[in-house]
Amino acid sequence: TQSTRPQRILGAVQQNATRGDPRSVVRAIDQYCRSQEWAMNVGDEKGCILDSVVSEVNPSTVLELGTYCGYSTVRIASLLPPHAKLITLEFNPKFAVIARQVIAWAGLEDKIQLVEGSSGDLIPKLKEQFGVKAFDLVFLDHWKDRYLPDTKLIEECGLLRKGGVLLADNVICPGAPEYLEFVRSSPRYESQYFKSHLEYTKVEDGLEKSVFLG
Ligand SMILES: Oc1cc(-c2ccc(F)cc2)cc2cncnc12
Ligand SMILES: [Mg+2]
């Protein structure tokens, strides 16, 4: 029976990455998606920008919206300090089952909690169910029309600490115009655009970093 793209990505990890070596997992996925078939990982070019923001924020708690195969999940978690935690939300169970295996291969199960469900349903439950106080960093990489409503939900639930950072993928391609307009015009955010390219292509895309001023 026909395999799926996420299954083939997992296969590339199991064949080419070293168990317990997160950076080799990231490298294996990038090599596969650059040479064999495109996939919607944040990729190595935008991934370097992601790395620099993660290193600068040095977060204790991270929220990722949109796990897919776990590429950015592993990339972020590999840079976190020892007791830091990352919660990642994934709506698609087929993606979640692959991401769990990619995360396990990287040996990052202790740092990462993957929760299946819709961000709109799960965000209001994060405090009570997962004992989260507030996030230092939120990586938005899910459905683009959820960026703005979920940001408002995160604010309403008091889940973003003062000085906390929102980092949004794909603000140009596929694009999140309402989100961009909001964070760039709101007095409660200090926003900065990092111009880059859509993963594995020459098409323009970028990341928007927005610091929450409280
Ligand atoms: O990084 C991404 C890229 C694309 C995408 C798909 C098709 C296309 F033509 C261009 C871009 C879709 C995404 C959905 N969720 C999260 N990240 C994504
Ligand atoms: Mg993306």
3-state secondary structure 26-67: HHHHHHHHHHCCCCCCCHHHHHHHHHHHHHHHCCCEEEEECC
In angstroms, rounded to a whole number, what is the distance separating the alpha carbons of residues 158 and 138?
A: 13
Evaluate the omega torsion of the peptide bond into residue 174 and state whether it is cis, within 30 degrees of 0: yes
Query: pLDDT for 5-27, tens place per residue?
Result: 999 999 999 999 999 999 999 99
Question: What string of DSSP letters covers 65-86?
Answer: E--TTSHHHHHHHTTS-TT-EE
Q: How far is the CA of 71 from the centre of ligand 2 (A)?
A: 10
Instruction: Output the pTM of the full model.
Output: 0.99
Q: Enter the ipTM.
A: 0.99
The pLDDT value given to residue 111: 98
User: How do strand 135-140 and strand 204-212 relate by DSSP bridges?
Assistant: unpaired
In angstroms, rounded to a whole number, what is the distance separating the alpha carbons of residues 16 and 28?
A: 6
Q: Is the CB of 173 under 6 A from ligand 1?
A: yes
Burial (CB < 10 A; 0-12, 13-18, 19+), residue 27, is middle
Q: How far is the CA of 40 from the centre of ligand 2 (A)?
A: 6
The pLDDT value given to residue 127: 96
Q: What is the mean pLDDT of residues 2-6?
A: 98
The pLDDT value given to residue 161: 97
CA dihedral 54, 205, 95, 64 (to 10 degrees): 30
Q: Is the CB of 198 under 6 A from ligand 1?
A: yes
Query: pLDDT for 141-163, tens place per residue?
Result: 999 999 999 999 999 999 999 99
Q: How many CA atoms lie within 13 A of 15 on its CB side?
A: 9
Q: Which of 212, 211, 208, 213 is nearest to 50 (CA)?
A: 208
Contacts of 92 (CB under 8 A, 6+ apart): none
Q: What is the mean pLDDT of residues 51-78?
A: 99
Q: Is the CB of 170 under 6 A from ligand 1?
A: yes
Q: What's the length of the chain?
A: 214
Query: pLDDT for 103-140, tens place per residue?
Result: 999 999 999 999 999 999 999 999 999 999 999 999 99
